[in-house]
Amino acid sequence: MLVSAKEMLTKAKAGKYAVGQFNINNLEWTKSILLTAEELKSPVILGVSEGAGKYMCGYKTVVGMVNGMLEELNITVPVALHLDHGSYEGAKACIEAGFSSIMFDGSHYPIEENVEKTKELVAICEEKGLSIEAEVGSIGGEEDGVVGAGECADPNECKMIADLGVTMLAAGIGNIHGKYPDNWEGLSFETLDAVQQKTGDMPLVLHGGTGIPEDMIQKAISLGVSKINVNTECQLSFAEATRKYIEAGKDLEGKGFDPRKLLAPGADAIKATVKEKMELFGSVGKA
């Protein structure tokens, strides 16, 4: 059964480790992530962007697929199904469809409007027992057409949003979605520290988990980050393994590629990436 992310993140914050959010795009990714979490006895959050939701036929299909896998793969570790960077309408649609967690990204609105919309969604999530992530200060890079400049959040605005009763807070600290450019200045630990001072026990979320050096990840966890999002790194490992398989031309005997064999190396590559991240984040054995 899907669970809200609240308990797993409260435990992570207290235990000084982070739970990974791995984005899903299809059946193979989902299966790989769930099997790895079960094998490593790690809690896990499955992230779904609005674009990925559309690609997978809509949120109800996603909920049906994930619930089916939890049962048929005998998954016993805590799993949350979470909308990633949701719009106000997207958040409502996911609540309706049966997600156990949502992110409302109101960071592009003026702070008053972000507060207003977040407050309304907090009330709905509270009533239904779902977790909710809010964002202050946009994350840089581009994800599903949403472009951010990588700004650092204002700690006072973070407190305003945290006080609305959200479960977790994503605060921009110079992090970027996708690959970091060569001239990236690194995470702003000064901002993170100030946000953590203002928001106390609130689990903080680090987006753009791909390509952040290990020591920075560990320092961020020590300063209150208890959820880390990873997408691009799974994409890169999946693509590389698939490309190698096609180049080797193994199934080309007049029948084209066997679709199951074609996607198997990519699925294995995702397992390896997820394992590496769970070990780095310290969530292994914490289920």
Q: Which amino acid is at 249?
A: G
**Contact between 107 and ligand 13P per CB under 6 A:** no
Q: Which of the following is catalytic: 84, 144, 193, 215?
A: 84
- What is the SS3 assignment for 205? strand
User: Which residue, 6 or 207, has its beta carbon nearer to ligand 13P?
Assistant: 207
Applying CB under 6 A, which part among 37-45, 185-193, 227-235, 264-272 lies near ligand 13P? 227-235
Question: How many CB atoms neighbour CB 202 within 10 A?
Answer: 25
**Contact between 230 and ligand 13P per CB under 6 A:** yes
Tokens coding 256: 């084209």
From CA 59, how far away is CA 50, in angstroms rounded?
9
From CA 176, how far away is CA 206, in angstroms rounded?
10
**Contact between 177 and ligand 13P per CB under 6 A:** yes
**Contact between 155 and ligand 13P per CB under 6 A:** no
User: Which residue, 55 or 257, has its beta carbon nearer to ligand 13P?
Assistant: 55
Tokens coding 159: 């407190």
**Contact between 208 and ligand 13P per CB under 6 A:** yes
CB 77 within 8 A of CB 43: yes
Place of tokens 């057409």: 145
Catalytic, 84? Answer yes
Question: How many CB atoms neighbour CB 283 within 10 A?
Answer: 28
Smallest distance from the beta carbon of 257 to ligand 13P, in angstroms?
27
**Contact between 178 and ligand 13P per CB under 6 A:** yes
From CA 13, how far away is CA 17, in angstroms rounded?
7
Tokens coding 257: 């590629």
User: Which residue, 216 or 262, has its beta carbon nearer to ligand 13P?
Assistant: 216
**Contact between 227 and ligand 13P per CB under 6 A:** no
**Contact between 148 and ligand 13P per CB under 6 A:** no
Q: How many binding residues for ligand 13P (CB under 6 A)?
A: 15
**Contact between 51 and ligand 13P per CB under 6 A:** no
From CA 21, how far away is CA 274, in angstroms rounded?
10
Residues forming the site for ligand 13P (CB under 6 A): 23, 47, 84-85, 177-178, 207-210, 229-233
Active site residues: 84
